[in-house]
């Protein structure tokens, strides 16, 4: 698994890697992530080019993570 974190536009990287559990069986993956201080309306979950992307915005910081298998 690869973790990409950052914001290419600003040149600054705010590293935040939440605690996560990933479970796999024959039919599915189950990903649980602790994102303290965020409500479910602030969290975005997408699939891009066969990659799970979890991103979120809050008032004080922005982070985006690409998880590659």
Answer for the pair 33, 43: CB distance below 8 angstroms, yes or no: no
Tell me the per-residue pLDDT of 1-16, one tens digit each, with 9 for 90 and over: 445 555 555 555 555 6
Cα(42)–Cα(33) distance, integer angstroms: 14
For residue 64, what pLDDT is reported?
64
Look up the domain containing 38 and give its range.
2-68
pTM: 0.55
Domain count, the chain: 1
CB atoms closer than 10 angstroms to residue 42? 13
pLDDT tens per residue across span 14-54: 556 778 899 999 999 899 988 888 888 888 899 888 888 88
């Amino acid at each position: 698994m690869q973790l990409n974190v950052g914001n290419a536009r600003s040149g600054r990287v705010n590293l935040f890697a939440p605690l996560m559990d990933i479970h796999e069986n024959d039919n599915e993956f189950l990903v649980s992530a602790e994102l303290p201080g965020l409500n479910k309306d602030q969290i975005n979950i997408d699939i891009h080019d066969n990659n799970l992307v979890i991103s979120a915005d809050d008032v004080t910081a922005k982070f985006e993570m690409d998880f590659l298998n």
